[in-house]
Amino acid sequence: MRRQDLLDVTVRCLARYGPRGTTGRAICREAGVSHGLLRHYFDNPDNLLLETYQQLCDDFIARFETELLPETSDPWQALDRFFEIACSEEWASKDQLGAWIAFWGLVTTREDFAKVSSAFNAQLRAQIEKAARRLPEPTGMPMADAIAILSAVMDGVWLEFCLSAERTPRQRAVALCSATARRLFAG
């Protein structure tokens, strides 16, 4: 088992047991490995939770950057593709939702998690701004406000989709994000 496999198991455990129940023993049991292997990669379960959160944040930013990289592509299509990925099984599964909810709880009580959250949100907003700079200027508001609104809508629609794909199907979630972007950056 590789380090990445243990991080993936940690996400599943967080979704099932929450941060308090995601112990080294629970992770090892779920992964079918000895505690020694866990300790080989991580000093303790708290480090594992923090490193899992950092990895999720890094992976999300990297995926967003990948979608927006080809600056020769249509900026609207690149942004729409990102909305599609955010609402994909990769990022909107029950395990992902459960892990993010657990991490958000830790962000409010632990400074190390709060620092990761702050850095992640700054990077995400920077990437959204980079994408938005390729679009027409926002109408009636500063760029920073338009980015804050788009970020909040993305988060809210993602959460709505994760909580009930029947109430807000994937295509509807993507369309809502896309419509918001087009209204904000109508030019």
Tell me what pLDDT residue 67 has: 75
Please give the Cα distance from 87 to 161 (Å, whole number): 7
In the prediction, which pLDDT does 70 show? 66
Q: Is the pLDDT of residue 43 over 80?
A: no
CATH of the domain at 123: 1.10.357.10
Residue 180 within any structural domain of the chain? yes
Domain range enclosing 93: 50-184
The verdict on residue 41 lying in a domain is no
Q: Does a structural domain hold residue 19?
A: no
pLDDT at position 42 is: 84
Kindly report, residue by residue over 62-116, the tens digit of the pLDDT.
Answer: 988 887 766 667 888 888 888 998 898 888 899 999 999 999 999 999 999 999 9
**What is the model's pLDDT at position 187?**
63
Instruction: Render pLDDT for 134-185 as a digit per residue (tens, 0 to 9).
Output: 899 998 899 999 999 999 999 999 999 999 999 999 999 999 999 999 999 9
The verdict on residue 101 lying in a domain is: yes
pLDDT at 64: 83
State residue 71's pLDDT score.
Answer: 67
Residue 10 and residue 52 in contact, taking contact as beta carbons nearer than 8 Å? yes
Dist CA 81 CA 87 (whole Å): 10
> Considering its fold, how many domains does the chain have in total?
1
Please indicate, yes or no, if residue 65 is contained in any of the structural domains. Answer: yes
pTM: 0.87
Whether 50 contacts 56, CB under 8 Å: no
What torsion, rounded to 10 degrees, do the Cα atoms 128, 167, 85, 59 define? 80
**Which ranges constitute the DSSP H helices of 69-187?**
75-86, 89-92, 94-107, 111-132, 143-163, 170-184
Provide φ and ψ at 126, rounded to 5°.
-65, -40
Instruction: For residue 142, tell me if it sits in a domain.
Output: yes
100, part of any domain: yes
Residue 178, domain member (yes or no): yes
